[in-house]
Each structure stands twice: as C-alpha cells, then as structure tokens.
Amino acid sequence: MEYNIVLERYQGPMDLLLDLIRKNEIDIYDIPIFEITEQFLDYMEKANKINLELTSDFILMASTLLEIKSKMLLPKIKFDDDEEEEDEEDARKELVEKLLEYEKYQQLSGLLKKNEEYETRAFYRKKSEMPDFSDKNLLKDLQVNDLSKAFMNILIRNKNKVVKSIYRENFSVETAINVLKSRLLINNKFYFTKLLEDYPSREELISLFLGLLELIRNGILSAKQTENFTDIFIELRNLDE
C-alpha cells in the first residue's frame, strides 16, 4: 500500500523551527532541544522521500541542532546548581536570539503585507470632489517600502554601537505605541533616530517601527523623508482637521 506524504513548505529552517515551536506550544526561551531536533530531522527525512528540494540552510541548521544536542549530553562538572543551569542555557542562547530576531522580522513583514493589502482595497474619491484642506497625506509621498528601507538603514548604522542602557524585557508593539504617543505629547514632531537615545536595542527599535506603522495606519501621525534611506520625520496629525 502506498502512502502519500503531504508536507508544508517553509521559506527556510528558521521558519520551520518557529512553526514547530508554535505547534508544540513551547516557550521559545526554554526550547526542549532533543524533541525539536528529532522533529526537524524527521521533516528533512520526509522531504527527502518525496524529493522535496531543501536549501543548504536546512542542512546547516540540522548540524547546529545536533551540535547543541551533543553539548547538552556532555557530562557537566557540577560546582553548584546555578552554574549547571547557566551552562545548559548557554548552549541554546545563540539559537534563541536568532529565532527571536527572525520572529520580529516575520511580524514586520506581515504588518507591511497587511498594510499593502489594505491600500489595494481602499477606494478614494476623485480630487475634484474633495474639499480644500491642508495636506493629509500621512506618508508624504512615501511608500511603506520606503519607510522599511529607511528603518533597515537605521538598524545597519547602529549595528556596532555599544548598548549601555538596561534592556527592557517584553518591549511589545503595544508598549512601543504608548512610548510614541507619550513622545508626541511632549514634542509633536521629531526624527525617528531620536528614539535611539532611550531605546537603542534592535528589539526595541523593531517594536517602535511596528508601532509607528500602526499609528500611521490609524491616522494618528504622519511620516516623511527628504530622500531615500534618510531619517524618518514623524509628526502628530491635527485630528480636528
């Protein structure tokens, strides 16, 4: 009897790993590396059986998982409970950081796609039908993609800067939106890079950028640039217009 194997296609190994973590309802900070490694290798084996072509990144990730697994299997010289626990966490630390960063970019990509779909479904009145009022173009002749490029440029410029402030755990998009609203109450216009002074980490900046897009979509603020890849100028809208 023949069995038809149906496998979901993934964009890459990180995409597969995140899906396994979600399906198993696993805490990303406490990955059961043995279980996840077995499931990852099982997927690769099934993919090979149906001649599903996998990129070299999958093989590299499999090697990384096996390396982490082998490190965690090695006997540890136990001096105290805290040191043993720290060693186990260190074996997975780099993988967890990469997964968290990939998850952030995945959320960013999803929001950009959502905004793009929203624009394609929108219908606008002809210019002649619109009353004469000040410019309400929230993106000031920009596309969402332009803002994304500018944001990535900011991340690259600040990649090697030493972060001296204490990292804020659970800096969610909702928190970022509240930060932006508070900043706008103090100063109704400012440059995005000014946020680097108080929120310099990559994770915080990504959440702030997602919050910025959400506030633009809701018509609370507008954003513009002088040219491609330059800083993003943020301004509070006059909601009484």
pLDDT tens digit string along 193-225?
Answer: 888 788 878 788 888 888 888 888 888 888 888
Express each pLDDT in 54-111 by its tens digit: 778 888 888 888 888 888 887 766 555 555 454 445 678 888 888 888 888 878 877 7
- Round to whole Å and give the CA distance between 40 and 109: 24
6 and 97, same structural domain?
Answer: yes
146 and 116, same structural domain?
Answer: no
0.75 exceeded by the pTM?
Answer: no
223 and 112, same structural domain?
Answer: no
Q: Residue 142, by phi and psi: left (phi above 0), alpha (psi -120 to 50) or beta?
A: beta
Domain boundary among the residues 69, 101, 123 is at 123
Per-residue pLDDT averaged across 18-22, rounded?
Answer: 89
127 pLDDT band, cuts 50/70/90, is very low
CATH code, domain with 189: 1.10.10.580
Per-residue pLDDT averaged across 38-42, rounded?
Answer: 90
Per-residue pLDDT averaged across 117-126, rounded?
Answer: 58
Domain boundary among the residues 96, 123, 150 is at 123
Cα dihedral 195/196/199/200 (nearest 10)? 170
Would 191 be classed as within a structural domain? yes
Would 156 be classed as within a structural domain? yes
Residue 130: pLDDT over 80: no
What's the confidence (pLDDT) of residue 38? 92
157 and 99, same structural domain?
Answer: no
Residue 142: pLDDT over 60: no
Would 130 be classed as within a structural domain? no
Q: At what angle do helices 144-157 and 81-121 cross, to 10 degrees?
A: 150
What's the confidence (pLDDT) of residue 239? 57
Give 101: exposed, middle or buried? Use CB within 10 Å, 0-12, 13-18, 19+: middle
77 and 152, same structural domain?
Answer: no
Question: Cα angle vertex 233, ends 227, 237, to 5°?
Answer: 130
145 and 54, same structural domain?
Answer: no
93 and 55, same structural domain?
Answer: yes
What's the confidence (pLDDT) of residue 79? 55
Would 129 be classed as within a structural domain? no
Side-chain half-sphere exposure of 204, counting CA atoms within 13 A:
19
Would 44 be classed as within a structural domain? yes
- Across all residues in the chain, what is the average pLDDT? 75
Query: Residues of the chain with pLDDT > 70: what percent?
Result: 66
Per-residue pLDDT averaged across 150-154, rounded?
Answer: 67
Per the structure, the complete domain to which residue 76 belongs is given by: 1-123
Q: How many CB atoms lie within 10 A of CB 199?
A: 18
| Structural domains in the chain (count) | 2
Amino acid at the residue 224: K
144 and 101, same structural domain?
Answer: no
What's the confidence (pLDDT) of residue 195? 84
144 and 67, same structural domain?
Answer: no
158 and 53, same structural domain?
Answer: no
133 pLDDT band, cuts 50/70/90, is very low
Would 59 be classed as within a structural domain? yes
